[in-house]
Amino acid sequence: NAGVTQTPKFQVLKTGQSMTLQCAQDMNHNSMYWYRQDPGMGLRLIYYSASEGTTDKGEVPNGYNVSRLNKREFSLRLESAAPSQTSVYFCASRDTLYYGYTFGSGTRLTVV
């Protein structure tokens, strides 16, 4: 099925550990996004990539890095995880015709 695939679905990290969240889409979309969702805060944009080879900061980029590996893949890296980064992370891509967004199923991350 066409869509956005995120891995892993769940992860527990210790403070200071690093990890990379993977995202891939097979809809040939140019733009891809990383959001985090926290209770009472809604979804907030971390980073986005308007096209292959470009990335830019969103609303809450501190503590994260991203890589747009190719048109399909957009990864999010936590270099030194902190408890404040406990959240649910969503990757999304946007179609270029109608500008609708498709979201992945999310990664639930806990930092202890």
Partner 1 sequence: KQEVTQIPAALSVPEGENLVLNCSFTDSAIYNLQWFRQDPGKGLTSLLLIQSSQREQTSGRLNASLDKSSGRSTLYIAASQPGDSATYLCAVRQRDTGRRALTFGSGTRLQVQP
Cα 91 → chain centroid? 4
Task: Tell me the two tokens of residue 73.
Answer: 């893949």
Count of residues in contact with partner 1, rule CB under 8 A:
25
Closest CB to partner 1 among 17 and 67?
Answer: 67
Binding mask 49-88 for partner 1 (x = CB under 8 A): -x-----x-x------------------------------
The one-letter amino acid code at 94 reads R
Under the criterion CB under 8 A, does residue 89 sit at the interface with partner 1? no
Cα(15)–Cα(12) distance, integer angstroms: 10
Rounded to whole angstroms, the Cα distance separating 17 from 80 reads 5
Report how far residue 44's alpha carbon sits from residue 103's, in angstroms, rounded to the nearest whole number.
Answer: 14
> Residue 88 Cβ, how far from partner 1 at the closest point, in Å?
9
Binding site for partner 1 (CB under 8 A): 31, 33, 40-45, 48, 50, 56, 58, 90, 92, 94, 98-106, 108
